[in-house]
Amino acid sequence: MQWCLPKLQSCPRAVEVRRQKSEKEAHSNKRKGKSEELSEMTAKKRKVERDIDLLVRRADDKFDDAEKHESYKTTHELVVQRHTLHKEAKAKKSGLQELSASTQALKGELATL
């Protein structure tokens, strides 16, 4: 079988088949990499959404606690904490929008592959 190897390497058809096989493999690896990246981004997006929901829920709890207290100082501290939590949630929402845009772009790339 080894005596046939040089002939196969010089055969244009065999060279073409090997080239096509390597192109298909590279394309498949690229698509697989993009798919993995998309699934990671989707998981990250879900985590950020959960974090935002948690921050908003905690902020609402702070406001509810502030309504229960009669002390101005305690009420003021709780309202400030609520405001801080809402700021964090707002910052995460802008990051979430960027992540959503990146996810959509990656989905578009995958559709063209």
**pLDDT of the chain, 113 residues: tens digit per residue:** 444 555 555 677 877 888 889 888 988 888 899 999 999 999 999 999 999 999 999 999 988 888 887 888 888 888 899 999 999 999 999 999 999 999 999 999 888 87
Q: Which amino acid is at 12?
A: P
What is the C-alpha to C-alpha distance for residues 78 and 81, in angstroms, rounded to an integer?
A: 5
Domain enclosing residue 88, as ranges? 2-112
Q: Could you tell me if 20 and 85 are in contact, meaning their C-beta atoms sit under 8 angstroms apart?
A: no
Q: How many domains does the chain have?
A: 1
The pLDDT of residue 27: 85
Packed helices 12-68 and 72-112: angle between N→C axes, nearest 10 degrees = 160
Q: Could you tell me if 59 and 86 are in contact, meaning their C-beta atoms sit under 8 angstroms apart?
A: yes
